[in-house]
Structure 1
Amino acid sequence: MWFWIGFLILVFILLALDLGVFNRRSHVISTREAAGWTTLWVSLSLAFSIFVYFAYEENWIESPMGGMEAAIDYLTGYLVEQSLSMDNIFVIALIFAYFKVPEQYQHRVLFWGILGALFFRGVMIAFGIVLLQQFQWMIYVFGIFLLYSAYKMLTSSEEVHPNKNPTIRLLRKYFPITKSYYGEKFFVKIRHIRAGTPLFVALVMVETTDIMFAFDSIPAIFAITTDPFLVFTSNIFAILGLRSLYFVLANMLNRFVYLKYSLVFILVFVALKMLAHEYVHLPGWVSLVVIFAALLIGVLASLLRPAKSTEKEVAQQGQNG
């Protein structure tokens, strides 16, 4: 139990340092600054696998798994969550563009959005593990759902429709929203009436879309492991790095035209692994290599594609969507 408490304390200390010390004042996050934070989060995530190894090898955490198996499952789960969060980055960029969120306030939106995501994902992970423990056939439901998610990702275009979002519609119906921004404030008081700002609406939009993406990513990690500690920690580290990764990639998102196909392949791979789990037992390192290779091929193919061809394909995708 103290491992869970210690991990949560570590996460909140890092978040407090992020917002309270390093980003106390709202400012435009430069690519160099974001790259530094991304390096830090990735380094912490990888270093945590060493702790996982010793925790399971020395039986600090009661589990039938050995240290190496646990570390590989953690790293594979982290890679799955990190790769699937790439699609989330595209949608966040569209949300910020739609609401015209000033660049200096985007970090604040992502910080509070990710803080909320930590809570909701924790609840969803706990619920999913209970379902799998009580109803083992749910793994087939998750597998079929991931195949459907892969199909939707392959055939649908990335679009943002806040007016069609039921949460946003409900929010605007029963809560006053200002037309203009008031600095970094989410709420303001106008004529003794407390109203939300467009920054708050953007935050709600980011939060609800992350919950929708969690319906894909959380079942996907159950194909790797159902160990609660490994599922939770790998998921949380991937989410923590999402914010800084967004600012690194914000100006070059349109370059990754082939990344979607890598994500579709990863979803199909983990779905088939779920559906065939009684007949096919792949070693943990095989899943890690396959997922890493799929992600690397999608990134390299996109970066090596000539810029003009990339822009043409992006335009065609927009017209087809």
Structure 2
Amino acid sequence: MPSELIFITGFVVFIFIMMAIDLGLFGKSDKPVSLKQAAIMSGVWVSLALVFYGLIFKYGHLLHHVETFAALKDINEKHFHHLHLNPDDLAGGLQLYRKNLALEFITGYVVEYALSVDNIFVMVLIFTAFAVQPRYYHKVLLWGIIGAVVMRFLFIFLGATLIAQFHWVLYLFGAFLVYTGVMMFINRNQEDEIDPENHRVVKFASKYFAVHPKFEGGKFFIRVNGKRLITPLFLVLMIIEVTDLVFAVDSIPAIFSITKDPYIVFFSNIFAIMGLRSMFFLLVNIIEKFHYLKTGLAVLLAFIGLKMLAGDYAEKIGLTTGMALLIILGILVVSIGASLIFPKKKAV
């Protein structure tokens, strides 16, 4: 069996095992997830991402079965790594390739994890608007994340195919990210609202499905007089799936600015998504304290978009992946620090 297939199969199996463990921890009963449980699982997912970083650093060449200089040169050009390789030093070239691949993974992971925080803002609004009881949050988020994994997989490999066929797509991605960042900055102080009755997903579901008028515990479906109906809890799940689809339009191009390797984009994306549920329970009660975070995310998106638009010139002026990671971390630290130092004034 090729090492590439072993690598990917092992990753998928690992994700399924961790989802089962996560479900076992959070899904034993319809009790709200405690801060301690959320902190433990958040720490576990971050630790696992760091372990995976180490695996790529040591065995990353196996991801694409790179064992010869010809294969190394080909993958370097195919995924735009821009590595300076010496044909007489295969071992050194492989070490450089693995190091770069690991750096791309951890940078993409940080970007996706940061952008996921904005997703949490919206999730809190959705649960509040629909008056979902906290004890059912974990069930909705679990199925929401399962759906997100499938959608991200399709989006990522579609994006990689487009980039491979039409390199100019990268500039469209870059322009879109700059536009998104600018609009997020302009609208940073607007109060987001969700109208349950007039939401587009609710209208769509009401038109094409039979909807039960009230919650039935943690059930997504209920049978009444022999007819199967969807419950408001399933409507909430549908809205969260659509919301993630919208966020994916921003986050996936953002990671393609860091790496063009679809596997690395997928790995970093999935690790961030899998940690999103525990991070939600960790931040749900304090998310409003980070009021400058949206400003930071707006700057982050604009920066990533500009880096993508710069293309090869970004490397020439010293904007390497490592430097980009430091800048991204700096943006996040400043926005979080500013939120804590200058707390939001309470309305009188």
**TM category, shorter:** over 0.9
| Cα drift, residue 207 of structure 1 | 0.6
RMSD between aligned residues = 1.7
| Cα drift, residue 232 of structure 1 | 0.3
Residue identity opposite 1:47 in structure 2: V
Q: C-alpha separation between the residues in 2 aligned to 1:181 and 1:305? A: 40
Q: C-alpha separation between the residues in 2 aligned to 1:176 and 1:58? A: 50
- Distance change in 2, residues 1:164/1:217 (3 Å): farther
Q: C-alpha separation between the residues in 2 aligned to 1:44 and 1:59? A: 18
Aligned to 2:333: 296
Q: C-alpha separation between the residues in 2 aligned to 1:293 and 1:106? A: 32
Aligned to 2:13: 9
**Normalised TM-score (structure 2):** 0.85
Q: C-alpha separation between the residues in 2 aligned to 1:9 and 1:279? A: 39
Q: C-alpha separation between the residues in 2 aligned to 1:151 and 1:70? A: 30
Q: C-alpha separation between the residues in 2 aligned to 1:208 and 1:243? A: 16
Q: 35, 54, 78: which one pairs with 1:31?
A: 35
Aligned to 1:71: 102
1:200-226 C-alpha deviation (Å, 9 max, x unpaired): 000001110000000000000011001
| Cα drift, residue 305 of structure 1 | 2.0
Q: How does 1:158-237 map to 2 (within 5 A)?
A: 158-163=192-197, 165-237=199-271
1:115-141 C-alpha deviation (Å, 9 max, x unpaired): 000000110001111111100001110
Q: C-alpha separation between the residues in 1 aligned to 2:106 and 2:229? A: 43
Q: C-alpha separation between the residues in 1 aligned to 2:50 and 2:326? A: 16
Q: C-alpha separation between the residues in 1 aligned to 2:210 and 2:308? A: 46
Q: C-alpha separation between the residues in 2 aligned to 1:60 and 1:224? A: 18
The answer to whether the 8 A contact 1:57-1:68 is kept is no
Q: 287, 291, 295: which one pairs with 1:261?
A: 295
Residue identity opposite 2:310 in structure 1: A
1:132-168 C-alpha deviation (Å, 9 max, x unpaired): 1100001110011111111221223333345554433
Aligned to 1:305: 342
Aligned to 1:44: 48
Residue identity opposite 1:189 in structure 2: R
Q: C-alpha separation between the residues in 1 aligned to 2:160 and 2:104? A: 16
Q: Is 1:276–2:310 an aligned residue pair?
A: yes
Q: C-alpha separation between the residues in 1 aligned to 2:260 and 2:198? A: 35
Q: 155, 158, 161: which one pairs with 1:124?
A: 155
| Cα drift, residue 283 of structure 1 | 1.8
Q: Is 1:244–2:282 an aligned residue pair?
A: no
Structure 2, gaps ≥5 residues long: 67-74, 77-95
The answer to whether the 8 A contact 2:179-2:302 is kept is no
- Distance change in 2, residues 1:164/1:152 (3 Å): farther
Residue identity opposite 1:11 in structure 2: I
Q: C-alpha separation between the residues in 1 aligned to 2:103 and 2:306? A: 20
Q: Answer with 1 or 2: which has the greater Rg.
A: 2
Q: C-alpha separation between the residues in 2 aligned to 1:47 and 1:26? A: 32
Q: C-alpha separation between the residues in 2 aligned to 1:173 and 1:137? A: 40
The answer to whether the 8 A contact 1:220-1:267 is kept is yes
Residue identity opposite 1:288 in structure 2: L
Q: C-alpha separation between the residues in 2 aligned to 1:59 and 1:95? A: 39
3-state SS of paired residue (1:177): coil
Q: How many residues are matched? A: 311
- Distance change in 2, residues 1:296/1:150 (3 Å): same
Q: C-alpha separation between the residues in 2 aligned to 1:134 and 1:162? A: 42
Q: C-alpha separation between the residues in 2 aligned to 1:250 and 1:206? A: 15
3-state SS of paired residue (1:189): strand
Q: C-alpha separation between the residues in 2 aligned to 1:59 and 1:34? A: 32
Q: C-alpha separation between the residues in 2 aligned to 1:234 and 1:153? A: 24
Q: C-alpha separation between the residues in 2 aligned to 1:71 and 1:164? A: 45
**Normalised TM-score (structure 1):** 0.92
Q: C-alpha separation between the residues in 1 aligned to 2:183 and 2:327? A: 22
Aligned-pair identity in percent equals 41
Q: 99, 124, 141: which one pairs with 2:172?
A: 141
Q: C-alpha separation between the residues in 2 aligned to 1:198 and 1:89? A: 20
Q: C-alpha separation between the residues in 1 aligned to 2:178 and 2:194? A: 23
Aligned to 1:319: none
| Cα drift, residue 82 of structure 1 | 0.5
